[in-house]
Structure 1
Amino acid sequence: MAAGHQADYHIDSAASQASFQVRLLWLEHIGGNFTQVLGEVAPGPSPDSLVVDAVIPVQSVSMPSKRMRQWLLAPAFFDADHHPTIHFVSDPVAQAELDSGGILTGNLTLRGVTAPVHFAVQPAHCEEQSSTPCHLTLHGRVQRSTFGMTGDHLPLSDSVELNLSITLQRENR
């Protein structure tokens, strides 16, 4: 993103998604996608800093089978009836770190538990004065047990790989 700090961006939900993978029985990976990522990127508290505020509706999860999807939405995993969203709020990040790539830290709330997380950010060269969408790619890992997902600990790895493909659109003000 070009220098300057007054731009606000919203996450283009139709063009953004989050995917995950977890190892099953130490042999194969199972994964899925969240087809909706909502939120915004706004100026942070200091010049040239930004704060990411993203929400993922749990019901937007897509899996290879209906049975697996129901398993993930159940109380042992996402508990979608009681915790319908996943929420991430970043610590302020310098725009230069998004340009060159770096680490995005913040807090993730999942199943009512908030814990610190960090994502590796691929370099993204977004022009602040342009109406062209900006694409961010983030990679990270979380531990299921941190968020109370302790069921099926023998067949499933505790470590979950998260990948986010986020498209930002500049707010028209």
Structure 2
Amino acid sequence: MPVPEAAGVSISPFDPAHTRFGFELRTRWGQRVAGTFPRYEGDVTTLADGRHRVRIVLRTDGVVVEGSERYTALARGPSFFDAARYPYIEFVSDPHPESLIHTGGRMRGRLSMHGVSRMEVFYLSEPECDAPGRECDVVAGGSISREDYSLDGWQFALVDRVRFSMRVRVVEPAP
């Protein structure tokens, strides 16, 4: 349910029954390494002028690499996400028109990870329904350079790009 923040502003939290965050990277030998962030928080703020701002916080100590306890431990460890020192990855979008979730397109914002904060762009897909974020997922993705965030562990085995993906719904407001 949206939470009133100030006059004309509301906050809609993510729906945990439908929202998913993941990442994928490749080894230098072409193997796909995919993982999820099952522990997160986030919301969509509707600003007084009608624009939206998205906030996502992913817990690195909860990251899971599909099918591998060993890779999960490596991903959480000091050579990659370093969850002990950097427990969160945060993305806060620039304010954008509500129409973006209906048309798809570029969503720009500040990504903070591993002690580094940079502007990045994620791409929203065209929705599969008339009420994206409520009746169907808002689907987005984008890739970042590990080098830009000093994620320099395992350079001999992993390529530089990490692709993030998200499927997001918000909690339906009360009538």
Shared fold per TM-score greater than 0.5: yes
For each residue in 1:36-95, what CA deviation from the matched residue of structure 2 results, as whole angstroms up to 9, or x when unmatched?
A: 3311101236x2210001111112211121111110111121110111111110000100
Does the aligned pair in 1 maintain the 2:55–2:92 contact within 8 Å? yes
Does the aligned pair in 2 maintain the 1:6–1:43 contact within 8 Å? yes
Q: Structure 1, unaligned stretches of length 5 or more?
A: none
What TM-score, normalized to structure 2?
0.85
Give the letter for the 1:115 counterpart: R
Return the alpha-carbon distance in structure 2 between the equivalents of residues 172 and 112 of structure 1: 38
Q: 1:78: which partner in 2?
A: 81
Return the alpha-carbon distance in structure 2 between the equivalents of residues 127 and 11 of structure 1: 13
2:17 maps to 1:29 = no
What TM-score, normalized to structure 1?
0.86
Provide the aligned C-alpha RMSD in A: 2.1
Determine helix, strand or coil for the equivalent of 1:71: helix
For each residue in 1:8-41, what CA deviation from the matched residue of structure 2 results, as whole angstroms up to 9, or x when unmatched?
A: 3111234211111111024221111111331110
Q: 1:11: which partner in 2?
A: 14
Determine helix, strand or coil for the equivalent of 1:15: coil
Return the alpha-carbon distance in structure 2 between the equivalents of residues 107 and 172 of structure 1: 31
Q: 1:96: which partner in 2?
A: 99
Match of 1:119 among 102, 112, 122: 122
Give the letter for the 2:25 counterpart: V
Q: 1:148: which partner in 2?
A: 150
Determine helix, strand or coil for the equivalent of 2:84: coil
Does the aligned pair in 1 maintain the 2:18–2:137 contact within 8 Å? no
- Deviating above 6 A after TM superposition, structure 1's stretches of 4 or more consecutive aligned residues are none
